Amino acid sequence: MTKLRLAIVGAGPAGIYAADLLIKAERAFDVSIDLFDHLPAPYGLVRYGVAPDHPRIKGIIGALREVLDRGDIRFFGNVRYGVDLTLDDLKKHYNAVIFATGAVKDAELDIPGIDLDGSYGAAEFVSWFDGHPDVPRTWPLNAREVAVLGNGNVALDVARILSKHADDLLVTEIPSNVYEGLKASPVTDVHVFGRRGPAQVKFTPLELRELGEVNDVDIVVYDEDFDLDPASEAAIASNKQVMVINRVMNQWRTRPAGTASRRLHLHFYARPVEVLGADGAVTGLRYERTAPDAAGGVVGTGEFRELPIQALYRAVGYFGSPLDDVPFDSLHGVIPNREGQVLDDHDAVIPGVYATGWIKRGPVGLIGHTKSDAMETLSHVVRDQANWWSPASPDEASVVELLESRGVIYTTVDGWHYLDQYELGLGEAAGRTRIKVVERDEMVAVSNQQPVA
């Protein structure tokens, strides 16, 4: 029987779902799959892109873990594509590769002052509070008044973590350095800005409700933002999610003035036009009031306002990163592809090279959407058998020999189990469920049952 040796670069939900679906698929060939990731632990976005106080979403790890624990998919962590392993290497050992590297950088926002000290990308902040090993251990939390630009779930995650009291995060797996940083934060007011109205937000009802449950934080909404136009009223009447969001925010409007020590403000119909600064640092935000355009969009009103702030976070989307020897669309931040088949500069299919997840379609959709996305890509992998690569060394041992010959200290599924138990042990010793290990060297050492420095 023909055997497909498949490499998948990226061990987040997109990569793991793709591997699982192919293993379970009806097919006329045998399959052997290796997952590679530059991080020592698997699960990608779920471990490093979801706020620690979202245990329901992090429960997805349970399903992903079941896939890896079956033993029919190998995991190689702490392996950097383009450094430890190249496309030429993959061609020597596999019939095809699927890139599932996601989108982890912040999309740009081109307004004056966006590069001032105190202006940050939300993705960087999320990586910090999630204990990503490749970001600094400290974060400059010295602002009393903060702006968050964006009306998606990431914007609400950032606003919630900034405004939440650090002690209320001890029930989560928040790393120790993150707890200490948030504990010292002097923040009193967090302002979230969206260009459009409350009926056009991109966050979910669950995310919104969670804001109202944060201890000692008052939610502030403004009556001027709720003079709804016909398009907004139609959205509320026809969409259950929008209906719930509208109901929640109108309940907040009727709340008496709060006495909490911190406030989280939601501003709608507000288009940021300039980050104000002095001596190179953020001092304020200038924004224009917008108005509905009768079609679900907005137009500028010419009315400008300014708000004093000392820090700003842009949560306007994620953006993919280029990969060595793989085409890249620098305008959209994706690998150019047709239904997952990677295309060259002339829009011709490149044999053996595929993409799935956010690096394929851009950062849209929830984690669960990656399943249908992976099925589309896999349908081409299966049908493209005539165009698979013909590897010179397809046996499974040859990949291990290659990594070891290059001195790559990789991690495995068993290594992840060791790290998992170690983190749970750190938590138990501190009276918590888990404390996430942050340092890469420590993660690798624990995974390989080596002494921790």
In CATH, which superfamily holds the domain spanning 106-318?
A: FAD/NAD(P)-binding domain (3.50.50.60)
Q: What is the pLDDT of residue 364?
A: 79
Q: What is the pLDDT of residue 54?
A: 81
| Residue 5: its H or E element | strand 3-9
Q: What is the pLDDT of residue 294?
A: 79
Cα dihedral value 108, 111, 113, 119, nearest 10: -40
Q: What is the pLDDT of residue 203?
A: 87
Backbone φ and ψ for 349, nearest 5 degrees, come out as: -65, 135
Q: What are residue 76's DSSP bridge partners?
A: 36
In 3D, which of 388, 410, 387 has the Cα closest to residue 399?
410
Q: Is the pTM of this model over 0.95?
A: no
- Amino acid, res. 109: L
Per-residue pLDDT of the chain (453 residues), as tens digits, is: 688 999 999 999 999 999 999 999 877 789 999 999 999 999 998 899 888 888 777 678 888 999 999 999 999 999 999 999 999 999 999 999 999 999 989 999 999 999 999 999 999 999 999 999 999 999 999 999 999 999 998 999 999 999 999 999 999 999 999 999 999 999 999 999 999 999 999 888 888 888 888 999 999 999 999 988 898 999 999 999 999 999 999 999 988 878 899 999 999 999 999 999 999 999 999 999 999 987 778 999 999 999 999 999 999 989 999 999 999 999 999 999 999 999 999 999 999 999 999 999 998 766 667 888 999 999 999 999 999 999 999 999 999 999 999 999 999 999 999 999 999 999 999 999 899 999 999 999 999 999 887
Q: To which residue do tokens 């969409």 refer?
A: 239
- Residue 306 to residues 23, 87, 252, 270, 274: CA-CA distances in angstroms? 56, 50, 24, 11, 9
Tokens linked to 182: 């948030």
Return d(Cα 245, Cα 226) in angstroms, integer: 12
> How do beta strands 73-76 and 145-149 pair?
unpaired
From the number of C-beta atoms within 10 Å of its C-beta (0-12, 13-18, 19+), residue 49 rates as buried
Report the topology of domain 3-104+320-410: Rossmann fold (3.40.50)
Q: Give 239's contacts (C-beta < 8 A, 6+ positions apart).
A: none
Tokens linked to 50: 């979801």
* Cα Rg of the chain, angstroms: 24
Q: What is the pLDDT of residue 363?
A: 86
Tokens linked to 53: 């106080």
Return d(Cα 194, Cα 156) in angstroms, integer: 11
Q: Give 173's contacts (C-beta < 8 A, 6+ positions apart).
A: 52, 423, 427, 432, 433, 434, 435, 436
CB 104 within 8 A of CB 82: no
Q: Where are the domains of the chain?
A: 3-104+320-410, 106-318
